[in-house]
Structure 1
Amino acid sequence: MESVNKTAIDSASTVFEKVGEDYIGSKSRFGDILIGAPYSEAFVKAYANERKDVLVIPQTIEYTAFLHNEEMKKVAKSGQEAIKDRAQARRDEIVEQSKADVEKLSNYGDGVRYVTGTGSVATCKVEFVVNSDKRAVVALLKGLRTGKVYAKGIAKAAPDDCFNVHIGKAIALRRALGLAVPDEYLNAPQPTEVRVGDVVEGHAVKDTALVISDDAWPPISGVWVPLKYARQYEFRIIDDSREGVVD
């Protein structure tokens, strides 16, 4: 069996190993699969339909030994780091896209024209109500003259998602305006790198803390944690809005 697996692996262009519900990429001549990264069954099926010589191997003793030897562990770790970096970079792009979207849709702060139910047009200012504790953002379209709320949109982070006020504002404003919400806003990758200004929580204790730089003076109030410890103990990021933080 070992020789059969080795021959199959050597001849294949791309190799996945099924581990639990995931398929772990372990080889790719095309360079479009991250070594050590998990892929879904749907992805593997679609990928196999577009490529030749794709091999999916059940988790056998022989193959597991091949995949999990010390050399492959290093390769797998490198692949996991690469996919984390890519996810963080993509989230950063989506946050910046959200900021620009809100600015443009609100006419750069000069208000928006909203068609009322009677067919008339009301000039409205955009107001946001942010509740970080409830992980929600509400966008209100208020008439400049009347102060009447003509429309509102709501965005709320899922329990397991990291809250980001900028993405939330973009979603809420689009819903208030009756516009489609881009899929990337609804399915943004989760952050993978703790940064100064993030709000984090521990694994054993669900207390939240603000991440500060290692050499900064602690805030007068509130719970805080130095950046090095937040990274060392891999605290979970629950809010990466980082408002007021300059990179």
Structure 2
Amino acid sequence: MKNVNQTVINNANTVFEKKDDKYFGYKSRFGDVVIGGAYSYRFVVHYAKTNQDVVIMPGDVNTVATPVCTTLEERLWKPEKTAQARRDEIVKQVKADVWELTKNGDGVRYKLNAFYHASCEVEFVVNRHKRTVVVLLKGIRTREVYARGIAKAVPDDCFNVHIGKAIALRRALGLAVPNQYLNAPQPTDVRVGDVVRSTVDKSKEYVIAKGEKAWCDGMAGLSSMAAKYGRIIDDSREEAEQSE
């Protein structure tokens, strides 16, 4: 362990050295960690949450990582983000992406060839039944469709119009589609505006509404059985967001 920050090690109560997927006891001021003993990630996380001044030394570089816990308030071992939190971040990202690519919604410049670009308006065609989003890049002056892109949700995926727009637009423009757009985690938290499908009668779909709305007009409340046990098939929530 040459060139490590010895001061950090000396001040730490407990030190683990990470090697591959194991953590080995390197120092234990309290005697509760076996020097040289192998510990799992789960154990180290729990230990770091319940003790102060815990340091992890990565085995692949000769440096000491930032102390995991230096005070009771500072917790660098944070729980891994939930699937819903990661999806929320991706939805936020794709909205900003579309906004930026379309110059704040004003349109795009489409490269016709090495010498010419066309100013195009962006038209999105959403088909929730087919679970597709198609984008058409139309010349502002010519009205000619210069390019199109399509995004289609696979049967087991939850449809999200915002993700679909970003994927379709990037394909129309010939841009790479980030992997997180194509493999966004599935939603887990039912929210107002989501469309859920009954797991008992798969022909029944409900839009989740505020309050305890009666089972009518295809609506169901947040505390309803449909919301609790139904499968989220569309979490675009466009109307719910506009009404906020």
Which TM bucket (shorter chain)?
0.5 to 0.7
Instruction: For 1:135 and 1:124, locate their aligned partners in 2 and report how far apart those are by CA, in whole Å.
Output: 25
Q: Which residue pairs with 2:209 in the alignment?
A: 212
| 2-structure distance, mates of 1:149, 1:160 | 32
Are 1:141 and 2:150 matched, yes or no? Answer: no
> Residues 232 and 177 (structure 1 numbering): CA distance in 2 closer, same or farther, change over 3 Å?
closer
The residue number in structure 2 matching 1:14 is 40
Following superposition, the deviation at residue 154 of structure 1 comes to 0.3
Determine helix, strand or coil for the equivalent of 2:96: helix
Listed as ranges, the matches of 1:1-247 within 5 Å are 12-14=38-40, 27-30=42-45, 86-117=82-113, 119-206=115-202, 207-216=204-213, 222-230=217-225, 233-246=228-241
| Alpha-carbon offset, residue 111 of structure 1 | 1.5
Query: How many Å separate the matches in 2 of 1:119 and 1:157?
Result: 36
Structure 1, unaligned stretches of length 5 or more? Answer: 1-9, 16-26, 33-48, 51-81
Q: Deviations over 1:145-194 (max 9, x none)?
A: 11110001100001100000000000000000000001110111100000
TM-score when normalising by structure 1 = 0.65
Larger radius of gyration: 2
CA RMSD of aligned residues (A): 2.5
- Answer yes or no: is the 8 Å Cα contact 1:88–1:192 preserved in 2: yes
1:12 Cα deviation from its structure 2 partner: 4.1
Contact 1:13 1:30 in 2 (8 A): no
Please tell me the residue identity of whatever aligns with 2:108: V
How far, CA to CA, are the matches of 2:123 and 2:227 in structure 1? Answer: 39
Q: Could you tell me how far apart the structure 1 residues matched to 2:178 and 2:88 are? A: 16
> How many percent identity over aligned positions?
55
Please state whether the residue corresponding to 1:147 is helix, strand or coil: coil
Give me the whole-angstrom Cα distance separating, in 2, the residues matched to 1:184 and 1:209. 28
Could you tell me how far apart the structure 1 residues matched to 2:121 and 2:215 are?
A: 37
The runs of 5 or more residues in structure 2 that have no matched partner are 1-33, 48-58, 61-78
**Maintained 8 Å contact 1:211/1:230:** no
TM-score (norm. length: structure 2):
0.66
- Per-residue deviation, 1:203: 1.2
**SS class of match (1:137):** strand
Asked if the contact 2:167–2:181 (Cα under 8 Å) also holds between the matched residues in 1, the reply is yes
Cα distance change, pair 107–14 in 1 and its aligned pair in 2 (3 A): same
d(CA) in 2 for partners of 1:141 and 1:232?
38
Describe the SS at the equivalent of 1:138.
Answer: strand
Shift of 1:204: 2.2
Q: Which residue identity lines up with residue 146 of structure 1 in the other structure?
A: T
Question: 1:36 — aligned with what?
Answer: none
Higher helix share: 1
The structural deviation recorded for 1:93 is 0.7
Question: Residues 13 and 29 of structure 1 are in contact (CA less than 8 Å); yes or no, is this contact kept in structure 2?
Answer: yes
When residues 214 and 125 of structure 1 are mapped into structure 2, their CA distance, relative to the original with a 3 A threshold, is: same
Size of the alignment, in residue pairs? Answer: 177
